[in-house]
Structure 1
Amino acid sequence: MSVPLYQAKAEFFRMLGHPMRIRVLELLQDGPMPVRNLLAAIEAEPSGLSQQLALLRRSGIVSARREGSTVVYALASGDAAGLLGAARRILTEVLAGRHKLLAELREAEVAAR
């Protein structure tokens, strides 16, 4: 039995729903990175980062390759970077709208005095 597309999309976005996973994807936009560099940039416990990387790898959004004793992670597709860019643009629009509303509320408060 196949999963409806909307359900698969919901599961995909749920997979992205962790700050550490988003940060990993942001870091990997600049290119492949060894685990030790990810650890330094994220300042996470190794076990916590390992869990998040495993989930991202299982989902297929990142890939891993071994270089000697080092594991290097990379985005599996450039589309992941595009998704993060789209999220930034959407958030920018949402926050700009909130700032406009806040300014209007403040103006109304001053006018009511």
Structure 2
Amino acid sequence: MSVPLYEAKAELFRLLGHPVRIRVLELLQDGPMPVRDLLAAIEVEATGLSQHLAVLRRSDMVTAHREGTTVVYALSGGDVAELLRAARQLLSAKLQGQRELLTELELEQAETRQG
């Protein structure tokens, strides 16, 4: 039996619901990286990173290949980078709205103190 689309989407967002996985995907937007470089850029133990990379690999978000003894990871396609860009835009819009609200509150406080 097939899974409804909304459940499949929810599973995708659960997959992305960990900061280490998001950070890995962000780092890989600049191009393929060996595991050692990912470890240096993310403050997480090697076993933890390995588990997160395995989840991303199983979900086809990243690919991995060997270069000698080094495993190099890359985004599996442009759609992943596009999703991260969309998330940045949504977050930016949300923060802009909060910034505007904070400015209004600060103006109101200043007027209250003066009046």
**Does residue 1:49 correspond to 2:41, yes or no?**
no
Q: 1:57 deviation in Å?
A: 0.4
TM-score (norm 2): 0.95
The answer to whether the aligner puts 1:39 opposite 2:39 as a matched pair is yes
Q: Percent identity?
A: 67
Deviations 1:67-107 (A, max 9, x none): 11111100001111111111111111100000000110111
TM-score (norm 1): 0.97
Q: Distance in 2 between matches of 1:69 and 1:15?
A: 28
Q: Deviations over 1:17-74 (max 9, x none)?
A: 0000000000000111110010011121000100100000011100111111111100
| Stretches of 4+ aligned residues off by more than 3 angstroms | none
Q: What is the aligned partner in structure 1 of residue 8 from structure 2? A: 8
Structure 1 residue 111 displacement after superposition: 1.5
Q: Distance in 1 between matches of 2:18 and 2:9?
A: 16
Backbone CA RMSD of aligned residues: 0.7
Long gaps (5+) in structure 2:
none
Aligned length: 113
The amino acid of 2:51's aligned partner reads Q
Equivalent residue of 1:39, what SS? helix
Show structure 1 runs of 5+ residues with no match: none
Match of 1:79 in 2: 79
Give the structure 2 partner of residue 17 of structure 1.
Answer: 17
- Counterpart secondary structure, 1:92: helix
In structure 2, what is the Cα distance between the partners aligned to 1:70 and 1:43? Answer: 20
Q: Give the 3-state SS of the residue equivalent to 2:84 in structure 1.
A: helix
